Amino acid sequence: MSATTATATDAATGTKVMTYREALRLALQEELARDERVFLMGEEIGVFGGAYKVTAGLLDQFGEDRVRDTPISEEGFVGAGVGAAMIGERPVVEIMTLNFILVAMDQVINHAAKIGAMFGGEVRCPLVIRTPNGAGNQLTAQHSQSFDGWFAGTPGLKVVAPANPADAKGLLKAAIRDDDPVLVLENLPIYKEKGEVPLDPDFVTPIGRAAVVREGTDVTLVAHSFATLRALRAAAGLAERHGVSAEVVDLRSLRPLDVETVAASVAKTNRAVCVEEGWPSYGVTAELSARIQHACFDDLDAPVERVGMAEVPLPYAKVLELAAMPGEDRIAGAVLRSLGLAR
């Protein structure tokens, strides 16, 4: 990273180029400074500076009361976040990677997500859980999986998944300010990606709004998180090699889901290819396909296509891992199939 680009501030627009990781850190920093009720909990977030360095420096800046290292006890400290949130604290809990949330699922799904409805709105749970995720580094079956759809299919939770630095800052801040439990799905391969980030401390990305991140006319690619980057790369390749004009919609929020933006795009292009890093069966792309075919039945010129992780626990060997992931070639293949240009 060159120091000049990383610190270059655009005074006119009030933005700064930074990595996704730095944007998350900035969001945490601003919210910790803004609101006394905000505090962080998680494994290795303090002394160690964060397993992936998102929280680096925050312990020194805010102290142990606000930046709390925890033992390896996910069920315990996620649940502690739920309880503290119920009486008005604003805990931001880091789970080292999404995989480890599985041992805390009971607190996430059967406690945090239930509170609003089960008690008739008497008490709220403004808890944020932020956790990175992502395949591609040979971390193998227990450490590289994306079951984003499981959470997005749970009433009572909100789920956001930023795909670029600006949204990383904006969505994390929106999550912290939200009065409901919000799961912020971060992404390991995107941590180092750079982009312009608004410096306004009150900049937030609204929850429940997708964004058209590339305009096109022939087909709509719908994705979230790292799959958005794959979709953008596939779209660039399709334009270059096949003259295909692909529009890319970045969902940004999975629950609530901005079906309107997706449907408006599909109404224009008449074709949809949904992409995710997770297993497609019963997943995010399954949900998208169902909603698109219903909302856009008369607009569709081809069946909705979807691309996802091969349906195996991810193997270790690089060749196998690469084959399993929803690479740009598979996305392009699905687009060509949807256009009738390939079988």
Partner 1 sequence: MPAVAAPSALRHLYEQMVLGRVFETEAERQYKADHIGGYCHLSSGQEATTVGTMHALQPDDLLVTGYRSHGFALARGVSPEAVMAELFGRRDGCAHGRGGSMHLLDVGHGYYGGWGIVAGQLPVAAGLALGLVRQRRPQAVLVELGDGAVNMGAFHESLNLASLWGLPVVFLVVNNEYGMGTSVARASAEPELYRRAAAYRMHGERVDGNDVQAVIEASDRLLTQAREERRPALLEAMTYRFRGHSVADAGLAYRTKDEVREHQAQDPLFRVRERLRAEGLSDEDFDAIDREADERVAAAVQFALDSPEPDVAQLATGMHAAGSAEQFARMRPGSAFGEQALTFDAGLGS
For residues 157 and 149, give the distance between their C-alpha atoms in angstroms, rounded to a whole number.
Answer: 12
Query: Nearest 5°: phi and psi at 286?
Result: -65, -45
Question: Is 341 among the residues that bind partner 1 (CB under 8 A)?
Answer: no
* Sign of the Cα pseudo-torsion (38, 206, 16, 195, in order): positive
Q: Which of 62, 75, 88, 100 is nearest to 179 (CA)?
A: 88
Token readout for 252 is 């940004």
Residue placing its CB nearer to ligand TPP in the complex, 78 or 232: 78
Closest to 337 (Cα-Cα) out of 284, 265, 271, 247: 271
- Smallest gap from Cβ 68 to partner 1, in A, equals 11
Residue 336 C-beta: closest distance to ligand TPP, Å: 40
Residue type, 1: M
Q: Please state the closest distance from residue 96 (CB atom) to ligand TPP, in A.
A: 5
Which of ligand TPP, partner 1, none sits in contact with 186, Cβ below 5 to 8 A by type?
none
Q: Which of 22, 74, 94, 247 is catalytic?
A: 74
Phi-psi map region of 243: left, alpha, beta (phi>0 left; psi -120 to 50 alpha): left
Proportion of the chain in helix, strand, coil states, percent, rounded to 5: 40, 15, 45
Catalytic annotation present for 287 = no
Q: How far is the CB of 43 from partner 1 (least distance, A)?
A: 7
In whole angstroms, give the CA distance from residue 199 to residue 196. 9
Sole binder of partner 1 in the list 57, 206, 256, 313 (CB under 8 A): 313
Question: Would residue 224 show up in a list of annotated catalytic residues for this protein?
Answer: no
Size of the site for partner 1 (CB under 8 A): 48
Question: Smaller CB distance to partner 1: residue 143 or 214?
Answer: 143
Pairing outcome for strands 272-275 and 305-307: parallel
- The residue of the chain with the least Cβ separation from ligand TPP equals 100
Cα–Cα distance for residue pair 144/138, rounded to 1 Å: 8
Give dist(CA 207, CA 7) in Å, integer.
Answer: 28
- Which among partner 1, ligand TPP, none contacts residue 86 (Cβ within 5 to 8 A by kind)? none
Do 277 and 226 meet the contact criterion of CB atoms below 8 Å apart?
A: yes
The β-bridge partners of 180 are none
Q: At closest approach, how far in Å is the CB of 59 from partner 1? A: 12
Secondary structure class of 128 (helix, strand, coil) = strand
Output the smallest distance, CB 133 to ligand TPP, in A: 14
Site for partner 1 in 3-32 (CB under 8 A): none
Q: Taking CB under 8 A as the rule, does residue 330 contact partner 1?
A: yes
Residues at the contact surface with ligand TPP, assessed by CB under 6 A: 43, 72, 74, 96, 100, 103
Binding mask 99-138 for partner 1 (x = CB under 8 A): xx-xx---------------------------------xx
- Active-site residue list: 74, 143
Positions touching partner 1 (CB under 8 A) are 43-44, 47-49, 51, 69, 71-76, 99-100, 102-103, 137-143, 280-281, 285, 305-308, 310-313, 315-320, 323-324, 326, 330, 333-334, 337
